[in-house]
Amino acid sequence: MALAHLPKRKFDVVIVGAGGSGMRASLQLARAGLNVAVLSKVFPTRSHTVAAQGGIGASLGNMSEDNWHFHFYDTVKGSDWLGDQDAIEFMCREAPKVVYELEHFGMPFDRNPDGTIYQRPFGGHTANYGEKPVQRACAAADRTGHAMLHTLYQQNVKARTNFFVEWMALDLIRDSEGDVLGVTALEMETGEVHVLQAKCTLFATGGAGRIYAASTNAFINTGDGLGMAARAGVPLQDMEFWQFHPTGVHNAGVLLTEGCRGEGAILRNANGERFMERYAPTLKDLAPRDFVSRCMDQEIKEGRGCGPNKDYINLDMTHLGGETILKRLPSVYEIGHNFANVDITKEPIPVVPTIHYQMGGIPTNIHGQVVVPKDGTPNAVVNGFYAVGECSCVSVHGANRLGTNSLLDLLVFGRAAGNHIVASALASRNHKDLPADAADRSLERLARLEASTSGEYAQDVANDIRKSMQQHAGVFRTQAVMDEGVVQIAAIAERVKHIGLKDKSKVFNTARIEALEVDNLIEAAQATIVSAAARHESRGAHTVNDYGDTPQHPNGRNDEEWLKHTLWFSEGNRLDYKPVNLKPLSVDSVPPKVRSF
Ligand SMILES: Cc1cc2nc3c(=O)[nH]c(=O)nc-3n(C[C@H](O)[C@H](O)[C@H](O)COP(=O)(O)OP(=O)(O)OC[C@H]3O[C@@H](n4cnc5c(N)ncnc54)[C@H](O)[C@@H]3O)c2cc1C
């Protein structure tokens, strides 16, 4: 079926994704009177943001002395200097404003006795530039994301945002000038393909954590935005950097928030030792995640893991007392019962580092505009295309994100992108004409599945991607293991082209949807493994045994050659690089130095 026969709708703005970032952006737009469509594969309040537990980072200073300069410093250092300092300054300065705004939208934060917002300590959050832990994570018990997502949804309903629930965006529409004109989408209920035309298209599709086998992420986190961008010629930035969260429940993957350690929980090895004191004398259990995950792995490797197979670490909260646990960590208490059969008030719970967050994504500037290399400049704006949230790379998290900086990133850049679009006076502009081939890529993908009479199950191929990524792009990497991963993932990419679809029915056909998702998983996996194998140093979450600690390159970080962002292009599986912005907007730069805690 050609373009002319497909149903079409026009909007000022189409947003793909109804998580925290998509709904913060849509709120800004709908309130300004623009005609906004928000697409989501699931009901908005089921987006992965709902699972966020620990908190939102903002230097309110309600419970200990804090200011945005400390937050800025911690974030730059946490990023292992790969974060862009202009974007980090912007985020940290905006933080108190967006948190108070959220409070006024009705967000049910926990309260201090004086009525101010409750804040807990978190990994890598310090006062006085690394001197001591600070209380910066604004929390609603251990259900912060749940409270935030529901608050934003209610505000969007009030502002009359149009939601397209259970609609899956398939591909980005670009014309011959490279301008973005909207998306094609599958209405999951009917199986029908639609064209959604827009003056601006904003991706807020979340992370791709499902490219790994053991993940804290929701099943829908298949990196669709990354896949759509990559297929349309947009590069993906810094995809080698994936965060392992230190405390996923052993054998279940379910997350136990860093808020546990914020409230005082302790990691112990088989000897009962609080081993983090040895590795990070100042921050101990609250060192940043990349660091703690590696220490845990080290303990297990050296034979001090817990349990019959010595393959996990114990997270001990027994000394916190039942009352604190039930007040501050009620979901963690339930998770202990349901996923580990453990009463955390009485015994420690087994944990292992588990994949959690992608630091990389679609490259943007601080207005959320997608930027690509063009005519000699590294950051040329793609007209009509924005990205915010976990699918984007602005880049505030660099090589390692600090806990609570993601929910913050959603609010700050969702709002900023919304404001930028509003300021661009869309109402007075016409829609550009759609090119004749606008829907071809999607229709070809669907036709291939439709025509298949044999071929592998999508799930079998997806599971092999996950197995391979888990093995070849883990907490500790070696050059040989990554190189082997590049070969394996390239081989799986060939298999993706021959996936078969047995059930050809239209209505709510989840098999077709899963097959379409695999097209996105493979782009994210390729980007990750190819970018990782090419980075010959250790930095943040990308730790390679071959590039270890030397006097010239402490911790294996090589700033002379590798203080730069990776750009991966799907076409030709090709890499390019661009400089890191070490210049903040108004303050002095934090120059690179050795990272210790
Ligand atoms: C268990 C867990 C706990 C966390 N805790 C914290 C925390 O305490 N603090 C913190 O700062 N960060 C935390 N994080 C990280 C943070 O929650 C996420 O990075 C963030 O919520 C992602 O938000 P988002 O808006 O980018 O995307 P998401 O909330 O993941 O939403 C993505 C949206 O895109 C839609 N979508 C995707 N593909 C398509 C498609 N093809 N078509 C249509 N719609 C599509 C989905 O339906 C969904 O609506 C946590 C993450 C996890 C997994």
CATH code (residue 324): 3.90.700.10
Between CA 455 and CA 502 the distance in angstroms is 9
User: Is residue 406 lining ligand 1, measured as CB closer than 6 Å?
Assistant: yes
456 in a structural domain: yes
Q: Evaluate whether 314 touches 348 at the Cβ level (below 8 Å).
A: yes
What is the structure's pLDDT at 422?
97
Q: Which helix (H) or strand (E) holds 137?
A: strand 132-138
- For ligand 1, the distance from its centroid to the CA atom of residue 296, given in whole angstroms, is 26
Give the CATH number for residue 453: 1.20.58.100
Q: Evaluate whether 518 touches 458 at the Cβ level (below 8 Å).
A: yes
**Is 245 annotated in some ligand binding site?**
yes
Where does a domain end: 308, 337, 353? 353
Between CA 29 and CA 27 the distance in angstroms is 5
Q: Return the bridge partners of 492, or none.
A: none
What does the angle CA 364 – CA 370 – CA 371 come to, to the nearest 5 degrees? 80
Q: How distant is the alpha carbon of residue 90 from its chain centre?
A: 19
Where does a domain end: 336, 353, 370? 353
Which tokens go with 59?
Answer: 């230097």
- Tokens 């992420």 -> residue: 217
Where does a domain end: 353, 370, 398? 353
User: Is residue 53 lining ligand 1, measured as CB closer than 6 Å?
Assistant: yes
Among residues 498, 493, 442, the alpha carbon closest in space to that of 468 is found at: 493
Catalytic position from the list 93, 231, 289, 512: 289
The DSSP call for residue 433 is P
CA-221 nearest atom, ligand 1? 30
Among residues 473, 2, 553, the alpha carbon closest in space to that of 242 is found at: 473
- For ligand 1, the distance from its centroid to the CA atom of residue 22, given in whole angstroms, is 10
- For ligand 1, the distance from its centroid to the CA atom of residue 175, given in whole angstroms, is 29
Q: Which helix (H) or strand (E) holds 311?
A: none
What is the structure's pLDDT at 1?
58
Which tokens go with 100?
Answer: 């108070």
- For ligand 1, the distance from its centroid to the CA atom of residue 56, given in whole angstroms, is 14
| Ligand 1 probe mutation, 187, 205, 332, most atoms within 8 A of CB | 205
Between CA 402 and CA 535 the distance in angstroms is 22
Which tokens go with 437?
Answer: 């081939």
What is the structure's pLDDT at 262?
93
532 in a structural domain: yes
Give CA separation, 85 vs 14, 165, 407, in Å: 30, 37, 19
Q: Evaluate whether 426 touches 12 at the Cβ level (below 8 Å).
A: yes
Phi, psi values for residue 585, rounded to 5°? -75, -40
- For ligand 1, the distance from its centroid to the CA atom of residue 353, given in whole angstroms, is 19
User: Is residue 389 lining ligand 1, measured as CB closer than 6 Å?
Assistant: yes
**Is 384 annotated in some ligand binding site?**
no
Nearest CA residue ID for atom 12, ligand 1: 406
Give CA separation, 70 vs 92, 332, 403, 479, in Å: 9, 29, 15, 36
What is the structure's pLDDT at 428?
85
**Is 360 annotated in some ligand binding site?**
no
User: Is residue 516 lining ligand 1, measured as CB closer than 6 Å?
Assistant: no
Beta strands in 490-547 (DSSP E): 543-544
385 in a structural domain: no
- For ligand 1, the distance from its centroid to the CA atom of residue 19, given in whole angstroms, is 6
Between CA 92 and CA 74 the distance in angstroms is 10
Between CA 140 and CA 54 the distance in angstroms is 8
Start-end of H helices in 435-478: 440-451, 458-472
User: Is residue 47 lining ligand 1, measured as CB closer than 6 Å?
Assistant: yes
Q: Return the bridge partners of 389, or none.
A: none
Phi-psi map region of 178: left, alpha, beta (phi>0 left; psi -120 to 50 alpha): left
457 in a structural domain: yes
User: Is residue 139 lining ligand 1, measured as CB closer than 6 Å?
Assistant: no
CB-CB neighbours of 445 under 10 Å: 17
**Is 11 annotated in some ligand binding site?**
no
**Is 42 annotated in some ligand binding site?**
yes
What is the structure's pLDDT at 181?
98
Amino acid at 535: R
For the chain, how many helices (H) and strands (E)?
Answer: 16, 22
CA-206 nearest atom, ligand 1? 27
The DSSP call for residue 118 is P
User: Is residue 250 lining ligand 1, measured as CB closer than 6 Å?
Assistant: no
Residues comprising the chain, all counted: 597
Q: Evaluate whether 54 touches 148 at the Cβ level (below 8 Å).
A: no
What is the structure's pLDDT at 465?
98
160 is catalytic: no
314 in a structural domain: yes
What is the domain count for the chain? 2
- For ligand 1, the distance from its centroid to the CA atom of residue 49, given in whole angstroms, is 4
515 in a structural domain: yes
The DSSP call for residue 153 is H
- For ligand 1, the distance from its centroid to the CA atom of residue 361, given in whole angstroms, is 13
**Is 222 annotated in some ligand binding site?**
no
What is the structure's pLDDT at 425?
87
Amino acid at 379: N
Nearest CA residue ID for atom 49, ligand 1: 18
Start-end of H helices in 362-402: none
Which tokens go with 555?
Answer: 């911790």
User: Is residue 16 lining ligand 1, measured as CB closer than 6 Å?
Assistant: yes
3-state secondary structure (DSSP) of residue 192: strand
User: Is residue 215 lining ligand 1, measured as CB closer than 6 Å?
Assistant: no
| Ligand 1 probe mutation, 14, 24, 26, 49, most atoms within 8 A of CB | 49
User: Residues 251, 348: one domain?
Assistant: yes
Per-residue pLDDT tens, the chain, 597 aa: give them: 588 899 999 999 999 999 999 999 999 999 999 999 999 999 999 999 999 999 999 999 999 999 999 999 999 999 999 999 999 999 999 999 999 999 999 999 999 999 999 999 999 999 999 999 999 999 999 999 999 999 999 999 999 999 999 999 999 999 999 999 999 999 999 999 999 999 999 999 999 999 999 899 999 999 999 999 999 999 999 999 999 999 999 999 899 999 999 999 999 999 999 999 999 999 999 998 999 999 999 999 999 999 999 999 999 999 999 999 999 999 999 999 999 999 999 999 999 999 999 999 999 999 999 999 999 999 999 999 999 999 999 999 999 999 999 999 999 999 999 999 999 988 888 999 999 999 999 999 999 999 999 999 999 999 999 999 999 999 989 999 999 999 999 999 999 999 999 999 999 999 999 999 999 999 999 999 999 999 999 999 999 999 999 999 999 999 999 999 999 999 999 999 999 999 999 999 999 999 988
**Is 514 annotated in some ligand binding site?**
no
> What is the residue range of 503's domain?
439-550
349 in a structural domain: yes
411 in a structural domain: no
| Ligand 1 probe mutation, 102, 332, 407, most atoms within 8 A of CB | 407
